[in-house]
């Protein structure tokens, strides 16, 4: 195999790795993630838990695109836009603004844990801006859109007695 063919093959492999979403990475087993992490050049990947490894891979991918990985709890303001914050108590320089369009597009709600890609703040901006949503509460963003709204659910009251007692002879001691 020539050097040119090897380089082309390597480039295709890198492109394939770069296109994996949060959900695709989460569905892989740990040995597969270890192979991907080794190809991506992540250090100490064998010591990481699966969740940490998925986040590290997403972070590496975002860096390759000139973006940063943003994750945190969404707090929606009355104006319609929101903030992603690691800590639920205060805004800091690592907080990321989520546009009203993204909130509507993915039916995001206050308190959702959102993972996505954000661009760094520009000169006159205080916070970065979320560009793409990767996951909402650990789910695919499309699946998160279909979540029922708790206030619109109809309560179902019991219509028959639930028998909780058992035969004393069947008890495990």
**pTM across the whole model:** 0.70
Q: How many domains, the chain?
A: 2
Q: Which is nearest to 115 in space by CA: 64, 67, 77?
A: 67
Per-residue model confidence as pLDDT tens digits over 76-101: 999 999 999 876 565 565 688 999 99
Position 129 in a domain? yes
Residue 60 domain-assigned? yes
In a domain, 171, yes or no: no
Do 38 and 81 lie in one domain? The reply is no
**Host domain of residue 81:** 67-146
Mean pLDDT of the chain: 81
- Which has the minimum average pLDDT: 2-16, 115-129, 159-173? 2-16
pLDDT level of residue 9 (50, 70, 90 thresholds)? very low
End-to-end CA distance of the chain: 68
Distances 167 to 41, 56, 160, 162 between C-alpha atoms, Å: 60, 53, 20, 15
């Amino acid at each position: 195999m020539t050097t040119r063919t090897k380089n082309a093959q390597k480039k295709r492999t890198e492109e394939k790795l770069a296109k994996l979403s949060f959900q695709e990475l989460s569905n892989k087993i740990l040995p597969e993630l270890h192979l991907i992490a080794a190809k991506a050049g992540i250090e100490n990947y064998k010591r990481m838990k699966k969740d940490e490894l998925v986040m590290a891979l997403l972070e590496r991918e975002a860096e390759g695109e000139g973006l940063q990985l943003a994750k945190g709890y969404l707090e929606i303001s009355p104006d319609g836009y929101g903030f992603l914050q690691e800590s639920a108590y205060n805004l800091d320089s690592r907080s990321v603004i989520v546009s009203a369009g993204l909130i509507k597009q993915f039916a995001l709600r206050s308190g959702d844990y959102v993972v996505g890609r954000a661009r760094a703040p520009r000169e006159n901006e205080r916070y970065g801006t979320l560009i793409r949503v990767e996951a909402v509460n650990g789910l695919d963003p499309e699946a998160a859109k279909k979540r029922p709204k708790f206030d619109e659910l109809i309560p179902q009251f019991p219509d028959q007695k639930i028998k909780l007692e058992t035969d004393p002879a069947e008890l495990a001691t």
